[in-house]
């Protein structure tokens, strides 16, 4: 297993935002995490990526215990993430945003940059190549020189993904990657996620858009009030009475 989560929990005061969650993710799989608002999905991602320190349980990644490692450590280990609210450097170009993802893979020091050492220049070229490749892959190369704050929402979502890809992750955590984009854009984004997984990158995604989840996910984890209420294939989840009650029924009414 690439990722092994055992008994993971996070309390905020008296609230169990995540409680006793187990999850195994095999390499190359797409796992979706669904559940009503406030179910603990983003908290779960924050625990995996080291943004929050768990109250209980463990996270093992590539056989190594990474429980409570800091975000810069988890990203070096190969876990990249995007956020529910896209945070870009809005006054920087799309390319510079994607280059920021290269920082975790860079060895150069300020001295190297000031002195323009061969090692620094080599790394700079490599970073540029990797960033451009991420832009190509996510289909936004044409926007490279535009300011990130001025490109359409769909492109911004892709920039966030490109930044994550530029870190060369093995596990990618996407928190509502299709939030706030149209149905057509969502379909295209789904295809992009599928191509990402086909590259050998393991994907976990939180998403409310059920049609996207059902067509993409190999396995689905359903959280409610911080706890697992179901885990299985899309077909199993669709038929699960607990899921229908907690989530799908309500969601059908929300969507037109
Ligand atoms: N930093 C925090 N401090 C206190 N409570 C928090 C914190 N982060 C999350 N919570 C609480 O934990 C619970 C789970 O929140 P979380 O954001 O993980 O839900 P979610 O499933 O991602 O919801 P949504 O679908 O709305 O994004 C909520 O009750 C939330 O208010
Ligand atoms: Mg959330």
pLDDT for 186-220, tens place per residue?
Answer: 999 999 999 999 999 999 999 999 999 999 999 99
Using pLDDT thresholds of 50, 70 and 90, give the confidence band for residue 248: low
Per-residue pLDDT band for 23 (boundaries 50, 70, 90) equals: very high
Residue 115 Cα distances to 70, 99, 106, 109, 237, angstroms: 31, 21, 16, 10, 58
Q: From the CA of 42, how far away is ligand 1's center (Å)? A: 7
Please report, for residues 99, 106, 126, 127, 202, the alpha-carbon distance to residue 132 in angstroms, rounded to integers and kept in the order given: 9, 16, 10, 8, 22
Percent of all residues in the chain with a pLDDT value above 90, rounded to a whole number: 82
Three-state SS at 84: coil
pTM of the model: 0.92
Q: How far apart are CA 183 and CA 245, in angstroms?
A: 25
Please give the backbone phi and psi of residue 237, each rounded to the nearest 5 degrees, phi first.
-65, -40
Q: What's the gap in Å between 17 CA and the centre of ligand 1?
A: 6
Q: What is the mean pLDDT of the chain?
A: 92
Asked if the 1-78+169-256 domain carries CATH number 3.40.50.720, the reply is: no
In the chain, what are the domain boundaries? 1-78+169-256, 90-168
Nearest ligand 1 atom to alpha carbon 10: 12
Q: State the distance from the centre of ligand 2 to the C-alpha of 168, rounded, in angstroms.
A: 24
Predicted confidence band of residue 253 (pLDDT cuts 50, 70, 90): very low
* Predicted local distance difference test score (pLDDT) of residue 206: 97
At 62, is the pLDDT very low, low, confident or very high (cuts 50, 70, 90)?
A: very high
Q: What is the pLDDT of residue 103?
A: 83
* Environment of ion ligand 2 (residues, CB < 5 A): 41-42, 84
CB atoms inside a 10 Å sphere around CB 152? 12
Please compute the mean of the pLDDT values over residues 221-250 and round it to a whole number: 89
pLDDT at 108: 73
Choose which residue among 16, 33, 42, 209 to substitute to test ligand 1 binding: the one with the highest number of ligand atoms within 8 A of its C-beta: 42
Residues in a beta bridge with 205: 32, 174
């Amino acid at each position: 297993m690439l990722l092994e989560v055992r008994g993971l929990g996070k309390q905020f005061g008296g609230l169990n935002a995540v409680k006793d969650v187990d999850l195994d993710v095999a390499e190359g799989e797409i796992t979706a995490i669904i559940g009503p608002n406030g179910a603990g999905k983003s908290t779960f991602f924050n625990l995996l990526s080291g943004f929050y320190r768990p109250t209980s349980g463990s996270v093992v990644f590539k056989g190594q215990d990474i429980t409570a490692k800091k975000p810069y450590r988890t990203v070096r280990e190969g876990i990249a993430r995007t956020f529910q609210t896209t945070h870009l450097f809005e006054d920087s170009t799309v390319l510079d945003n994607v280059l920021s993802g290269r920082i975790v893979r860079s060895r150069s020091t300020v001295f190297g940059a000031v002195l323009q050492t061969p090692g620094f220049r080599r790394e700079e070229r490599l970073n540029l190549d990797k960033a451009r490749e991420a832009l190509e892959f996510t289909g936004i190369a044409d926007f490279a020189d535009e300011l990130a704050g001025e490109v359409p929402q769909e492109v911004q979502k892709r920039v966030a993904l490109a930044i994550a890809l530029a870190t060369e992750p093995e596990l990618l955590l996407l928190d509502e990657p299709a939030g706030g984009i149209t149905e057509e854009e969502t379909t295209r984004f789904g295809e992009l996620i599928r191509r990402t997984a086909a590259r050998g990158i393991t994907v976990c995604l939180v998403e409310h858009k059920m049609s996207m989840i059902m067509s993409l996910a190999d396995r689905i984890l359903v959280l409610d009030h911080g706890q697992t209420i179901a885990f299985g294939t899309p077909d199993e989840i669709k038929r699960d009475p607990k899921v229908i009650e907690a989530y799908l029924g309500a969601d059908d009414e929300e969507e037109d």
